[in-house]
Amino acid sequence: MKILGPEKSLLQSIDEALIEGSKNQKQNGYPLRPSAAGYCSRKLAYDVSAFHGHMEKVEEVKKPNILRLLDLGHYIESHAISYIRKNTDWDVKYCQQSVILFKLASGRMIEGSIDLALVSKDNKYKAIADCKTVGNRWSSGFQSKWDEMNNKLERLPSVHKFADDAFYIDDIAAFFKEIGEDALQKNIMQINAYLHSGWAKEQGFQFGIVYQYLKDSSKHREIRFRPSQAVFDQLKTKYELVEKYGSKGKPESVPKDFPLGSFSCAYCPYAQQCWPGDRTSKAYWQTQPKKNWADKINDLEKGAELKELFLKREKLETDTNILPVIEQEIITAMINHEVRKIKLDDGQIFEVVLRKSPRERLVLVRSKE
Ligand code: SF4
């Protein structure tokens, strides 16, 4: 068949241009920046070693869809910031402010650029913030990743919920221990570093904010925190060590911050150097919860309540008006009892699943074991 137009599809042209553009944009600057604060020390040591010419830098190859997503994130972030600008008691100030954090023993400066600084209109409060877009998916646990994080933040002793979807952390070091490996930790470390720059101190910035924006549904979340000198001092020590050994081409002398099976190692460009022969992504997925087996209704503490609701459902199965109401009651009861999949006495299995279309909602569906 004679296809009209050029042989190459529009999509091929876009993807090729993106890959080409990303090759030209490869980071050639000094790797120790505030944005790298949460990265593994060993990874940074490899990067520093490559920067000083001791080895080839292993570049992370990003697929075009990831590049498109990252690009989209920038648009969403400026859209989200426009809400702060228009609708709050805060002024958006000093975007892209360059700052110096500290000087290493080697004489090299650690510097970066602050994306977003906020000053309250009455000039009482000053915060360094960062807007981060996040994606959502059904968690291997019980809820969507977004809801799961909300629940986690509500439960952690170091976190105080001060409004809907708004949380405050007074001691970020304690929070890091509680939350474990999480992107939020990296975001906070970066902002904490900015808060300790000479410029931020001079200007009187008091706290940090991570403003998360959910791409899929425009939900948003605020994580506010008190800066920590101890966490900043740890960063200085870490960067000194990385520079010391990385500049000599001895990255192996720097400790690995993450174990095999961690998310950081799973997709790290240096995985083969650190864990030769091991498939780090496989090791990571092996740590994830296995298939979710159904809970037997009789084994549940509140099984009787659920049994009654399922019985009601069975009787009303043909009544299409009432059925959705009963199913909603069942979903709520299952959520309250943290049950995602349930097996009834007669062997039927039901599961609560997240449907995204035409709108995001939880539905009750029949399931296999
Ligand atoms: S593989 Fe893991 S330990 Fe090694 S550099 Fe990467 S993140 Fe660090």
CA distances (Å), origin 235, targets 42, 158, 282: 14, 21, 30
CA proximity to 211, closest of 27, 39, 88, 58: 88
pLDDT in tens, 325-336: 888 888 888 877
Going by C-beta distance under 8 Å and a sequence separation of 6 or more, which residues neighbour residue 334?
A: 306, 340, 342, 352
Please tell me if the CB atom of residue 238 comes closer than 6 angstroms to any atom of ligand 1. Answer: no
Please tell me if the CB atom of residue 274 comes closer than 6 angstroms to any atom of ligand 1. Answer: yes
Question: d(Cα 84, Cα 130) in Å, to the nearest integer?
Answer: 12
What residue's CA is closest to ligand 1, atom 7?
265
The whole-chain average pLDDT of the chain stands at 88
Structure-token match 């002793």, residue found: 157
248-255 long-range Cβ contacts below 8 angstroms, 24+ apart: 248/54, 249/49, 249/52, 249/54, 249/55, 250/45, 250/49, 251/42, 251/45, 251/46, 251/48, 251/49, 252/42, 253/45, 254/41, 254/42, 254/44, 254/45, 255/41, 255/42
- How many Å lie between the centroid of ligand 1 and the Cα of residue 341? 36
When pLDDT is averaged across residues 236-240 and rounded to a whole number, the result is 97
Check whether 18 has a pLDDT greater than 80.
Answer: yes
Please tell me if the CB atom of residue 271 comes closer than 6 angstroms to any atom of ligand 1. Answer: yes
Beta bridge partners of residue 295, listed in sequence order: 342
pLDDT in tens, 72-119: 888 888 888 888 888 899 999 877 789 999 999 999 999 999 989 999
Structure-token match 């490559």, residue found: 50
Question: d(Cα 54, Cα 40) in Å, to the nearest integer?
Answer: 19
Going by the DSSP 8-state scheme, the letter that residue 144 receives in this structure is B
pLDDT at 295: 80
What are the start and end residues of each CATH 3.90.320.10 domain in the chain?
33-249
CA proximity to 232, closest of 255, 208, 212, 254: 208
- How many Å lie between the centroid of ligand 1 and the Cα of residue 56? 16
- How many Å lie between the centroid of ligand 1 and the Cα of residue 350? 41
> Binning pLDDT at 50, 70 and 90, where does residue 185 land?
very high
Question: d(Cα 179, Cα 232) in Å, to the nearest integer?
Answer: 18
Percent of the chain with pLDDT over 90: 46
Query: Residue-wise over 351-365: b if at least 16 C-beta within 10 A, else e?
Result: bbeeeeeeeeebebe
CA proximity to 228, closest of 161, 181, 176, 184: 176
The CATH code belonging to domain 33-249 is: 3.90.320.10
pLDDT at 74: 86
- How many Å lie between the centroid of ligand 1 and the Cα of residue 271? 6
CA-angle at 361, arms to 356 and 367, nearest 5°: 85
